[in-house]
Homo-oligomer: A and B are copies of this chain.
Amino acid sequence: MNLANEITQMAQVAKQSAYALATTPTALKNKVLHNMAKAILSHKDFLMVENQKDLAEAHRQNYPKALVDRLTMTEKVIKEMAVCLQETAQLKDPVGEVMRTIKRPNGLMIKKIRTPIGVIGIIFESRPNVVSDCIGLCLKSGNAAILKGGREACFSNKAIFKVLQDVLKGSRIPHDSIHLIESTDREAVTILLGLDKYVDLIIPRGGEELIEFVASHSRIPVIKHYKGICHIYVSHHADLGKALKICFNAKVQKPAVCNAMETLLVEEKVAKKFLPRMIGDFQKANVEIRGCPVTRQIVKDGVKEATEEDWEEEYLDLILSVKVVKNLKDAVQHINRYGSHHSDAIITENKKEAEEFLKSVDSACLYVNASTRFTDGYQFGFGAEIGISTDKLHARGPMALEELTTYKYIVYGKGQIRT
């Protein structure tokens, strides 16, 4: 069978399974998730042996250390995969929730009910735990899933998938509810992206190039988990003690993640007082600073010149661009123009200014006096998350179980007709 037929058939059976999944009781879904967690733990050795094959190839190819780290399945990683499945089982099932009830003058009773989306395609790179995390979230929310991982993790992905599918085969949930595309050909992605008759949503998780490719080839709705160019704006109304602590945390605590700060904006009035201390703290932590001309006048030592490209770069590293701006309005304009609409913060003790910032900045998550690092499904109290959406349609910000659902209207009548 050729690749196109194979993937089309996969999507067709996934669609059929999705209809069954949509009416599967919560208790059964939870039982299966717990069994999956157990199976992951009891197949630890098998998973690690398969992971070694990917790691051996990674060493042969001389992959960068960060990538090898993301690829490595230690005992700790495997335990976390199991814990994630258990936690997903414990989350509230969103399916069936009555979101709204409308009683019409003609007696019609309308209910807006939360339902699964159907079939979700997830296209991802490197971390193999994405397989179990995403399958857990899709099953819990009643969706069938088609996964396509990267070549670099192909043995690990296959192994995790096999363990999970074996659990489904021993359950009353159709084992066809989950699929893994094993082909490492990019053609496989293109084929999947054309199957809008069967697949309802595509979620790409990975680097810029992957997401660009998916966005420009998909006929299916895509929710992008794109880059985070996060800003913190320090106003002259700021408590500078808080500002120092929050900015340091947002840049240094975990620089390789999408909710880390990439650009610091400082109000002119307070720049001379704030920047020397702040940049000093950063430099002690080995953060490279790229500053605007005013910043470089204030702090002369070790501050590189920021170029236009710096304002739109997601470093994901111990690098920070710094700009002195005239006022709140300039800060807002900078963020809306150069940001990625992910997470941005203001440090101020002035409530009116805070509200103006919250209203004017067009981002998924906006903070007053807190670190941008809190943009995360767990930190928001949603339980697990499938990612952080940088799109505005359907899901924005941390995307958890609720965001993996849609709704239908059910209307109870007594013979009503339109006149």
In angstroms, Cα B362 to Cα A200, docked, is 12
A144 interface residue, CB < 8 Å from B?
no
Q: Which residues of B contact A201 (CB under 8 A)?
A: 392-393
In angstroms, Cα B380 to Cα A221, docked, is 26
Chain B nearest Cβ from A124, distance in angstroms? 19
Would A417 and B249 be within 8 Å (CB), given that A219-B216, A366-B409 are in contact?
yes
Contact B221 A411 (CB under 8 A): no
Interface flags for A27-46 (1: CB within 8 Å of B; 0: not) read: 00000000000000000000
Would A392 and B415 be within 8 Å (CB), given that A362-B118, A381-B104 are in contact?
no
A358 interface residue, CB < 8 Å from B?
yes
Residues of chain A in range 347-386 having any CB-CB distance to chain B below 8 Å? 358-360, 362-371, 373-375, 379-381
Q: Which residues of B contact A418 (CB under 8 A)?
A: 249, 253-254, 371, 373-374, 379
Chain B nearest Cβ from A287, distance in angstroms? 16
Contact B396 A408 (CB under 8 A): yes
In angstroms, Cα B245 to Cα A363, docked, is 51
Q: Which residues of B contact A380 (CB under 8 A)?
A: 102, 104, 110, 409
Contact B392 A396 (CB under 8 A): no
Contact B373 A414 (CB under 8 A): no
Residues of chain A in range 195-248 having any CB-CB distance to chain B below 8 Å? 196, 200-201, 215-216, 219, 221-223, 239, 241-242, 245-246, 248
Q: Which residues of B contact A170 (CB under 8 A)?
A: none
A136 interface residue, CB < 8 Å from B?
no
Contact B246 A200 (CB under 8 A): no
Contact A221 B393 (CB under 8 A): yes
Q: Which of B215, B219, B379, B411 contacts A374 (CB 8 A)?
A: B411
Main secondary structure of the interface of A (DSSP, over half): mixed
Q: Which residues of B contact A222 (CB under 8 A)?
A: 221
In angstroms, Cα B112 to Cα A380, docked, is 11
Q: Which residues of B contact A410 (CB under 8 A)?
A: 358, 365-368
A108 interface residue, CB < 8 Å from B?
yes
A19 interface residue, CB < 8 Å from B?
yes
Q: Which of B248, B359, B369, B381 contacts A414 (CB 8 A)?
A: B369
Contact B359 A23 (CB under 8 A): yes
Residues of A participating in the B interface, judged by any CB pair closer than 8 Å:
19, 22-23, 102, 104, 108, 110, 115, 117-118, 196, 200-201, 215-216, 219, 221-223, 239, 241-242, 245-246, 248-250, 253-254, 336, 358-360, 362-371, 373-375, 379-381, 391-394, 396-398, 406-419
Excluding A200-B393, A215-B219, A245-B415, 11 further A-B contacts by CB distance (< 8 Å) are A22-B359, A23-B360, A102-B381, A110-B380, A216-B219, A246-B415, A362-B408, A364-B409, A366-B411, A371-B418, A374-B418
Name 5 A/B residue pairs within 8 A (Cβ), A-sorted. Answer: A19-B336, A19-B360, A104-B380, A249-B417, A366-B408
